[in-house]
Structure 1
Amino acid sequence: MEIDIAIIGGGAAGIGAARHLAGQGRKVMLIEAAARLGGRGWTLDLAGLKLDMGCAWLHSASRNVWTRLAEAAGVEIYRRPSAWRRQYRDLGFTPAEQDAASEAFDAWSQRLIDNRPADDVAAGALEPGGAWNDYIRTIVGFISGGRLEDISAADYAAYEEASTDENWRMPGGYGALITSHFPAGVDLKLSTPVQEISLTAAGVALTTPGGAIRARAAILTCSTAMLADGRIKLPAGAAAWREAAAQLPLGHDEKVIFELLEPAAFEPRSHLLGDPRDVKAMSYGIRPMGLPTIEAYLGNDSAEIITREGPVAAYAAAMDGLAKLLGADVRKQLRPLITTDWTRTTHIGGSYSYARPGQRSARATLARPFENRLFFAGEATHATDFSTAHGAYESGVRAATEVLGAMTRVG
Structure 2
Amino acid sequence: MPAIGIAAQPFGLTRVSPSMQQFDVIVVGGGAAGIGAARSLSDAGKDVLLVEADTRLGGRARTEHVEGMALDLGAGWLHSAEHNPWVEIAALHGFALDRTLPRWREQWREAGFSQLEQRDAGKAYDAFESRLRNDPPPGDRAGAALVPNSAWSVWIDTISGFVNGVDTAKLSIADYLAYEDAATETDWRVPAGYGALVAAQASGLRTALATPVTAIDRSGARLMLQTPRGTLEAEQAIVTVSTDVLARGDIALSGHDEVLHAAAALPLGLADKLFLAVDQGADELEANAHLLGDPRSAITASYTLRPFGSPVIEAMFGGEGAREMAARGLHGAADFAIEELCGLLGGKWRRRLRLLAGSAWSRETHIRGGYSHALPGRAGARQVLATPVDARIRFAGEACSANEFSTVHGAYKAGVAAARALLR
**TM range, smaller chain:** over 0.9
Distance apart, 1:93 and its partner CA = 0.7
Taking the aligned partners of 1:198 and 1:59, their CA distance within structure 2 comes to: 37
Q: Secondary structure at the match of 1:310?
A: helix
Which residue number corresponds to residue 158 of structure 1? 178
Counterpart pick for 1:42 among 62, 69, 78? 62
* Matched AA of 1:58: L
Equivalent residue runs for 1:255-270 within 5 Å: 255-262=273-280, 263-270=282-289
Structure 1 contact 42–54 (Cα < 8 Å) conserved? yes
TM-score, L = length of structure 2: 0.93
Cα deviation per residue 1:313-336 (whole Å; 9 max; x = unaligned)? 111111111011111111111011
Structure 1 contact 113–154 (Cα < 8 Å) conserved? no
Taking the aligned partners of 2:170 and 2:106, their CA distance within structure 1 comes to: 28
TM-score, L = length of structure 1: 0.96
Taking the aligned partners of 2:400 and 2:217, their CA distance within structure 1 comes to: 21
Counterpart pick for 2:352 among 333, 357, 363? 333
Structure 2 contact 95–192 (Cα < 8 Å) conserved? yes
Residue 124 of structure 2 is aligned to residue 104 of structure 1: yes
Distance apart, 1:53 and its partner CA = 0.6
Structure 1 contact 254–299 (Cα < 8 Å) conserved? yes
* Matched AA of 1:57: W
Taking the aligned partners of 2:250 and 2:326, their CA distance within structure 1 comes to: 20
Taking the aligned partners of 1:74 and 1:104, their CA distance within structure 2 comes to: 43
Distance apart, 1:23 and its partner CA = 2.7
Which residue number corresponds to residue 189 of structure 1? 208
Which residue number corresponds to residue 27 of structure 1? 47
Structure 1 contact 22–183 (Cα < 8 Å) conserved? no
Which residue number corresponds to residue 240 of structure 1? 258
Structure 2 contact 387–394 (Cα < 8 Å) conserved? yes
Distance apart, 1:183 and its partner CA = 4.6
Which residue number corresponds to residue 408 of structure 1? none
* Matched AA of 1:85: R
Residue 100 of structure 2 is aligned to residue 80 of structure 1: yes
* Matched AA of 1:166: T
Which residue number corresponds to residue 297 of structure 2? 278
Structure 1 contact 255–298 (Cα < 8 Å) conserved? yes
Distance apart, 1:115 and its partner CA = 2.3
Counterpart pick for 2:267 among 245, 249, 267? 249
* Matched AA of 1:242: L
Q: CA RMSD in A?
A: 1.1
Residue 38 of structure 2 is aligned to residue 18 of structure 1: yes
Task: Count matched residues.
Answer: 403
Structure 2 contact 299–324 (Cα < 8 Å) conserved? no
Cα deviation per residue 1:243-280 (whole Å; 9 max; x = unaligned)? 11000000011111101112212111111001111111
Structure 1 contact 257–336 (Cα < 8 Å) conserved? yes
Q: Percent identity?
A: 44
Structure 1 contact 4–27 (Cα < 8 Å) conserved? yes
Residue 330 of structure 2 is aligned to residue 323 of structure 1: no
Q: Secondary structure at the match of 2:178?
A: helix
Taking the aligned partners of 1:113 and 1:392, their CA distance within structure 2 comes to: 26
Counterpart pick for 2:392 among 368, 373, 391? 373
Unmatched segments (≥5 aa) in structure 2 = 1-20
Counterpart pick for 1:61 among 81, 95, 112? 81
Distance apart, 1:209 and its partner CA = 0.9
Which residue number corresponds to residue 7 of structure 2? none
Cα deviation per residue 1:124-160 (whole Å; 9 max; x = unaligned)? 1212332211110000000011121111111011101
Taking the aligned partners of 1:388 and 1:3, their CA distance within structure 2 comes to: 29
The more displaced of 104-113 and 359-368 is 104-113
Cα deviation per residue 1:8-47 (whole Å; 9 max; x = unaligned)? 0000000110121123222111000011000001111111
Which residue number corresponds to residue 391 of structure 1? 410
Distance apart, 1:282 and its partner CA = 1.0
Residue 263 of structure 2 is aligned to residue 228 of structure 1: no
Cα deviation per residue 1:274-303 (whole Å; 9 max; x = unaligned)? 111111121111001111100111011111
Cα deviation per residue 1:91-133 (whole Å; 9 max; x = unaligned)? 1111111111112112212322222222000101212332211
Distance apart, 1:312 and its partner CA = 1.8
Structure 2 contact 93–200 (Cα < 8 Å) conserved? no
Structure 2 contact 73–274 (Cα < 8 Å) conserved? no
Distance 1:249 1:167, change over 3 A: same
Distance apart, 1:70 and its partner CA = 1.2
Which residue number corresponds to residue 12 of structure 2? none
Structure 2 contact 286–305 (Cα < 8 Å) conserved? yes
Cα deviation per residue 1:49-105 (whole Å; 9 max; x = unaligned)? 100010000101111111121133332111111111110100111111111111211
Taking the aligned partners of 1:180 and 1:219, their CA distance within structure 2 comes to: 20
Counterpart pick for 2:381 among 362, 380, 384? 362
Unmatched segments (≥5 aa) in structure 1 = 406-411
Counterpart pick for 2:320 among 298, 301, 304? 301
Residue 177 of structure 2 is aligned to residue 174 of structure 1: no
Taking the aligned partners of 1:302 and 1:395, their CA distance within structure 2 comes to: 30
The more displaced of 304-313 and 43-52 is 304-313
Taking the aligned partners of 1:79 and 1:307, their CA distance within structure 2 comes to: 31
Structure 1 contact 221–376 (Cα < 8 Å) conserved? yes
Residue 155 of structure 2 is aligned to residue 131 of structure 1: no
Which residue number corresponds to residue 401 of structure 1? 420
* Matched AA of 2:258: A
Distance apart, 1:378 and its partner CA = 0.4
Which residue number corresponds to residue 141 of structure 1? 161
Which residue number corresponds to residue 219 of structure 2? 200
Taking the aligned partners of 1:102 and 1:18, their CA distance within structure 2 comes to: 43
